[in-house]
C-alpha cells in the first residue's frame, strides 16, 4: 500500500472458560476480569479439512456484515463444537472470493533449522522450490517460542526478543513477488503452482509461512518450538500476517499492524470511510488479493464473507490487532468494525479474553515502534507463547476512528452450548431485521472495570422473558449491556424496565427504544429484535453518566 507521500505501507481445542468479549466503541479500554481462556494453537494447519463444504457460489447482496454464526445452508450453529466446521466454511469462501486457494502441505517439505537461519525445500508434482529465513534468538536457553516477522517489519522485535521469544525474519517476496502481472506471478509458490494461479500474494505468503512451521516441526524442537508460534507484520506485511494467522491454526498469536485495505478492515465499511484506500486500489496496486476479488471491488455487499470472519477464523487463538487512526488511508475505522464483529465469535466461544484491539495511539508515524503497544505486546507474548501470563484482552479504540457495530450487523450473538449438537434442519425463527439498526455511536469514555453480571431478578415465566445486565464502569459513567431471554415460549416483543440511581442519566442507547433518560426507564424492542425464539436471547445497550449501583432490570413480553 502506498501512502499519499508515496512511501510503502502497507485444529479443535475450544476453550470453555466464560469470558466477556468487549463490544464498546470510542476511546474504549475494556479488560475482562474473568478466568483466563488460554487457547493453545492447534496441532495441525487446518483442523476442519475433513468438514464437507457445499458452497453454491451465489449469495444475495447484503449491506450488513454477514452472520459469522450462520452456515451456508442458512442454519445457525448452536454449540461451540459446531464452530470447527463453520470455520472451514468461512475458510473455503475466503479462498474462493477473497484470497485465492491456499493449497495444503505439498508432497515433500524438507529443510534445516539453525541458530541463525531456516531453509525450506518444497516439491510437488515434479516441481521444486526453495527459500530461507533468518533467525535471531533471545538470550537464555532454548528451545524458544518464535514469532515470524513478515518482511522483517511488524511489532517491536526488541520487545519480542526481550520477552524470551525468537524472531524469524521471513521475506515473503521470495515466495510471492510484488510488481508482477496477475497472469505472470513469480516466486516459490508460483514455481510450484503456476504463474497464472488465481491465488493472490497474501495466500501465497501464508503458504510459505506454513512451510517454515513444517520445517520447525520436523527439526525436533531443539532450537525453536513449533507449538508456540506467532506472526506479525506491518502495512502490506500486516495484511500478510493477518492471512498467515487466519489460515494456519498452528499460529498461537497473530499480530497484524496497520494492515489497511485488504487486511483487517471490513470491506463493506471501507467504501464509506473518508480517505481510506478503495478496494479497487488495494486490488490493483499489487496482486495481494486473489484474482476472483476483482468482481467485488465495486460491490463488496455481494461478498458472502467479510474480514470480521477472517478475524473469527483466528478464534479462539490469540489475536492482537494494532491500528493507526492518524492515517486515513489505513481505514482504521473499518478495522474497528471488523474487530468488534469478530470479537463476538471470541465471546461466543468463551474466549473473549484472547483478542486485543488497540488504535488509541498518539503518534501517526506509519509502522513506528509505539510505547502504547509495548505492555499489551508483552502480555500477549507471555500468555500465548510463553504460557506464563493471564492478562485479559483489551479494546482501546481511538475516538478518531471508532466504528459502530450496531450499524453493520443485523444478527445477534448466540449462547453456544459446550457439548456437540445435531445441526438444525430448519432455519432460525428469529425475525430478520426489516429496518436499519440505529446508527448512534457507542461510548467514547474508556471503562476501567467490568463488574459481574447481575442475574435476572426473577425466573422467566412460561411465555415470558427475563433480563440480566453486565456493566463496564469508569469514573463518572458506565456502559450497560442488557440481555433479554425468552422463556419456554417465543416472544414477539418485549419491554425491559429499570430504575437508574439518582443523578444518573442516559446519553446513548442502541438496539432499543427508551422512554426516558433518567429515573424509571422502559426500554422496548426495535423492529428487528422483538421476535425471540424460546430460550434464546437478544441484547441492547446504553451509555450513561453517573453511577451504576442497584440497576436491576425486569422484563415483560408480549
The 3-state secondary structure of 193-210 reads: HCCCCCCCHHHHHHHHHH
DSSP conformation class of 272: T
Q: How far is C-alpha 397 from the geometric centre of its chain's CA atoms? A: 14
| 429-557, CATH topology level | Immunoglobulin-like (2.60.40)
DSSP-based three-state secondary structure for 551: coil
- Beta strand pairing status for 477-486 and 537-545? antiparallel
For the ranges 16-25, 45-54, 119-128, the lowest mean pLDDT is seen at 16-25
Q: Is this structure's pTM higher than 0.75?
A: no
* Beta-carbon count within 10 A of 532 CB: 25
Q: Which residues are bridge partners to 554 per DSSP?
A: 497
User: In the prediction, which pLDDT does 172 show?
Assistant: 98
- Please, are residues 210 and 171 in contact by the beta-carbon 8 Å criterion? no
Task: Mark out the alpha helices in 137-235 (DSSP H runs).
Answer: 157-162, 188-193, 201-218
Q: What distance, in Å, lies between the first and last C-alpha atoms of the chain?
A: 53
* Beta-carbon count within 10 A of 11 CB: 15
CA separation for the pair 282, 427 (Å, rounded): 36
10 Å CB burial of residue 56 (0-12, 13-18, 19+) is: exposed
Q: Which of 269, 338, 366, 537 is catalytic?
A: 366
User: In the prediction, which pLDDT does 514 show?
Assistant: 93
Which distant-in-sequence residues (6+ apart) come within 8 Å of 50 by Cβ?
none
CA separation for the pair 146, 137 (Å, rounded): 9
**Looking at domain 80-399, which CATH architecture does it have?**
3-Layer(aba) Sandwich (3.40)
Which distant-in-sequence residues (6+ apart) come within 8 Å of 502 by Cβ?
none
- Please, are residues 251 and 318 in contact by the beta-carbon 8 Å criterion? no
> What are the cell numbers at 19?
469470558
- 457 vs 282 pLDDT, higher one: 282
In a 13 Å sphere around the CA of 478, the CA atoms on its Cβ side amount to: 20
Residue (of 330, 333, 322, 336) closest to 276 by Cα position: 330
Identify the sign of the CA torsion 224, 225, 226, 231: negative
> What are the cell numbers at 35?
478466568
Q: Which of 235, 276, 336, 406 is catalytic?
A: 235
Q: How far is C-alpha 387 from the geometric centre of its chain's CA atoms? A: 21
- 80 vs 41 pLDDT, higher one: 80
For the ranges 65-79, 80-94, 219-233, 524-538, the lowest mean pLDDT is seen at 524-538
DSSP conformation class of 436: P
10 Å CB burial of residue 124 (0-12, 13-18, 19+) is: middle
> What average pLDDT score do residues 447-475 get?
59
- Please, are residues 229 and 200 in contact by the beta-carbon 8 Å criterion? no
Q: Which residues are bridge partners to 259 per DSSP?
A: none
Q: How far is C-alpha 528 from the geometric centre of its chain's CA atoms? A: 25
| 388 pLDDT above the threshold of 60 | yes
* Per-range mean pLDDT, top range of 24-38, 57-71, 176-190, 461-475: 176-190
Determine the Cα angle at 190 with ends 242 and 241, to 5°. 10
Identify the sign of the CA torsion 426, 430, 432, 434: positive
Domain ranges of the chain: 80-399, 429-557
CA separation for the pair 524, 546 (Å, rounded): 22
237-254 pLDDT tens trace: 999 999 999 999 999 999
Active-site annotation holds for 235: yes
User: In the prediction, which pLDDT does 451 show?
Assistant: 41
Residue (of 476, 482, 494) closest to 531 by Cα position: 494
CA separation for the pair 23, 432 (Å, rounded): 21
280-318 pLDDT tens trace: 999 999 999 999 999 999 999 999 999 999 999 999 999
Residue (of 129, 149, 133) closest to 240 by Cα position: 149
38-74 pLDDT tens trace: 445 668 999 999 999 999 887 789 999 999 999 999 9
Q: How confident is the model at residue 509 (pLDDT cuts 50, 70, 90)?
A: confident
In a 13 Å sphere around the CA of 246, the CA atoms on its Cβ side amount to: 32
Amino acid at each position: 500500500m502506498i501512502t499519499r507521500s508515496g512511501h510503502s505501507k502497507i485444529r479443535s481445542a475450544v476453550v470453555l472458560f466464560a469470558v466477556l468479549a468487549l463490544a464498546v466503541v470510542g476511546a474504549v479500554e475494556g479488560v475482562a476480569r474473568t478466568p483466563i481462556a488460554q487457547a493453545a494453537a492447534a496441532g495441525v494447519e487446518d483442523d476442519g479439512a475433513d468438514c464437507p463444504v457445499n458452497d453454491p457460489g451465489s449469495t444475495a447482496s447484503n449491506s450488513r456484515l454477514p452472520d459469522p454464526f450462520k452456515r451456508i445452508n442458512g442454519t445457525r450453529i448452536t454449540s461451540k463444537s459446531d464452530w470447527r466446521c463453520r470455520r472451514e466454511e468461512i475458510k473455503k469462501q475466503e479462498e474462493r472470493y477473497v484470497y485465492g486457494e491456499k493449497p495444503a502441505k505439498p508432497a515433500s517439505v524438507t529443510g534445516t533449522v539453525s541458530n541463525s537461519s531456516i531453509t525450506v525445500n518444497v516439491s510437488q508434482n515434479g516441481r521444486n522450490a526453495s527459500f530461507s529465513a533468518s533467525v535471531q534468538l533471545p538470550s537464555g536457553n532454548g528451545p524458544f517460542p518464535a514469532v515470524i516477522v513478515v518482511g522483517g517489519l511488524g511489532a517491536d522485535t526488541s520487545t519480542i526478543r526481550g520477552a524470551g521469544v525468537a524472531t524469524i525474519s521471513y521475506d515473503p517476496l521470495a515466495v510471492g513477488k510484488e510488481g508482477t502481472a496477475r497472469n505472470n506471478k513469480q516466486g516459490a509458490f508460483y514455481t510450484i503452482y503456476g504463474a497464472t494461479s488465481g491465488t493472490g500474494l497474501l495466500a501465497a505468503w501464508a503458504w510459505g509461512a506454513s512451510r517454515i512451521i513444517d520445517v520447525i516441526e520436523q527439526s525436533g524442537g531443539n532450537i525453536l518450538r513449533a507449538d508456540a508460534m506467532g506472526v506479525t507484520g506491518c502495512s502490506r506485511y500486516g495484511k500478510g500476517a493477518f492471512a498467515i494467522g487466519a489460515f494456519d491454526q498452528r499460529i498461537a498469536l497473530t499480530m497484524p499492524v496497520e494492515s489497511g485495505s485488504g487486511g483487517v478492515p471490513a470491506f463493506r465499511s471501507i467504501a464509506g470511510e473518508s480517505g481510506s484506500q478503495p478496494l479497487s486500489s488495494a486490488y490493483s496496486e499489487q496482486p495481494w488479493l486473489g484474482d476472483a476479488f476483482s468482481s467485488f471491488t465495486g460491490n463488496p455487499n455481494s461478498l458472502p464473507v467479510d474480514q470480521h470472519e477472517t478475524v473469527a477464523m483466528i478464534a479462539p487463538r490469540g489475536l492482537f490487532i494494532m491500528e493507526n487512526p492518524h492515517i486515513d488511508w489505513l481505514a482504521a475505522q473499518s478495522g474497528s468494525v471488523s474487530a468488534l464483529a469478530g470479537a463476538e465469535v471470541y465471546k461466543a466461544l468463551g474466549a473473549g479474553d484472547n483478542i486485543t484491539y488497540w488504535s488509541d495511539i498518539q503518534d501517526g508515524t506509519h509502522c513506528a515502534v509505539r510505547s502504547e503497544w509495548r505492555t499489551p505486546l508483552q502480555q500477549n507474548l507471555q500468555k500465548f507463547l510463553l504460557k506464563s501470563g493471564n492478562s485479559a484482552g483489551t479494546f482501546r479504540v481511538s475516538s478518531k476512528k471508532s466504528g459502530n457495530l450496531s450499524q453493520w450487523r443485523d444478527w445477534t450473538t448466540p449462547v453456544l452450548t459446550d457439548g456437540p449438537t445435531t445441526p438444525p434442519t430448519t432455519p432460525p425463527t428469529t425475525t430478520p431485521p426489516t429496518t436499519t439498526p440505529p446508527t448512534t455511536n457507542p461510548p467514547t469514555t474508556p471503562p476501567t472495570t467490568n463488574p459481574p453480571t447481575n442475574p435476572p431478578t426473577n425466573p422467566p415465566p412460561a411465555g415470558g422473558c427475563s433480563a440480566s445486565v453486565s456493566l463496564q464502569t469508569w469514573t463518572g459513567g458506565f456502559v450497560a449491556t442488557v440481555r433479554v431471554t425468552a422463556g419456554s415460549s417465543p416472544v414477539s416483543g418485549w419491554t425491559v424496565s429499570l430504575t437508574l440511581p439518582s443523578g444518573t442519566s442516559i446519553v446513548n442507547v442502541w438496539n432499543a427504544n427508551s422512554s426516558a433518560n433518567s429515573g424509571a426507564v422502559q426500554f422496548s424492542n426495535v423492529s428487528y429484535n422483538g421476535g425471540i425464539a424460546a430460550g434464546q436471547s437478544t441484547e441492547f445497550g446504553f451509555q450513561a453518566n453517573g453511577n451504576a449501583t442497584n440497576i436491576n432490570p425486569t422484563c415483560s413480553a408480549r
